[in-house]
Structure 1
């Protein structure tokens, strides 16, 4: 590949996005068609609907609804880790072709109120997932310490959204130690500490990196609700560690955008700001932009952004970890400056609107071959 920052176009296999939120109802009608617009034809779908997807029947019905909206995408599906999930459910899910189970600590992010309070009760489930070669996807944060809690008066550090991910990492390491062959993904890594924890584990553990965490730091979301997500973006040093992981991990980290749409009124104008950044329609382009900025700031050398790295991060490494093939053989051509991010995503007859990441800015355009 020629000098990355001088390229006017790049041809790549269509991408695999290993972490997407497509919601349901009107929101799903709005955002599901943007998967292919972003250069992606295969996705791993999160189960945190309301109510959450906790049965095989719910999961397959949800997949059917998504296929009806956009049939030219392959949807890998997941269940929501919940007290109703048993080893028997895991065996049923495996037979039905469901890929994995997503764990949300209770209350840490959107639609997580039914999430996990303790992992020990799920050890039989994890053992069966290990036996069935299914994937455990971890939202790697712990809930914030309540105000005036006992933790504030002891030597135990208080937990806030800024250190919620590092506070979770001992749990990752403990689960990997107890279930060394269980395939685990630490989702949306946002700190250098998270990257180090994944690297400290065996090859059955990997991590996903979002497009927006490659660009944002704490100052960005502190002043802009459309950049606020969970986990929040952290320090410039953390952002640069994520950029280095894209080009230098050898496959331990791959794309999982965590694209999370919210109606614009829930991002601005209500008592609380909804957590989520919407990147689906420009998923691959945003990463290319972040890598170019990384080269220009000297985070890594231009020669480190190779065709092999791009093909691996955007699809090859994630598909290898998930054990799936790219079924369609499609390719995309990205052209520098070929697209402008819309200010608001809307659709006739749909009553919700979503403001995308970097609204109104120029980015790479996507053409399908």
Structure 2
């Protein structure tokens, strides 16, 4: 009798899940898919990489190419970027001096390697900076400064598509992406926010766009671009080779917010904090912590996420890695099965994880 009740209970849950997914599918559209769980889950323990400098205050992003690594310090005292030898992480030099002069920066949102050069984004100055390596390879020199088109509202991330084109999320709410010439001029705007919030889409698109702030990455080897929302749990996958577009929504749903004086005030959860598209998968850092919990802890909770979610290139969930510490940014080397991560909570903030 008990086994029959258990069977009926599970049958009801399964039917309810199918009904809920079917209802959501009608709300969102045919290219939107939902996931609840990952087929594989594993714990990863990080190994601290000892640095020979104490420069870093809030290491937000890490990028590696060849024998050089760059760590972006979101709240750097004097510089926003720091160059290291890789894999020893011997400190080489700093760049992106903080200040208001024409040669200095007011912020740094992200960094990209491209064709042996470095590109950085300064949202406060609405500028892109191109830097080149010195002859010794131990320092970076600014080669070019590009003023962004006035129509681009508060650019907070970017990806490099090719020699002439950049991709910047659109925060006007009118579209999803801005395609920008490397001279800063908008070439085109495409897509729309894949939200089921019809009221916000009609009456509060700028606030909706704020809530849908996403981190972006693009891999030119497979022409896959992906975005991950800072709030909620939404992954968008753009195959720029065949023009297919897929949205994956997790357990926590789309970004939550309320409107106050025209601005979107976050509700719900902190979602993703970084994303990398490799040749075979999409790696993300996930937090999944509610703003209610953050308020209750009042700064006592570590900053960042303790999960790395891995998806295939169509956004289907593959692995959920549970970490022994909280991290913010990642760089993945699939050849060596290594993830280098930044931990803003520790004095030694660079950590190495090995995965199978």
Scaled by the length of structure 2, the TM-score of the pair is 0.30
Higher relative contact order (CA 8 A, sep 6+): 1
Scaled by the length of structure 1, the TM-score of the pair is 0.29
Point out the structure with max Rg over C-alpha. 2
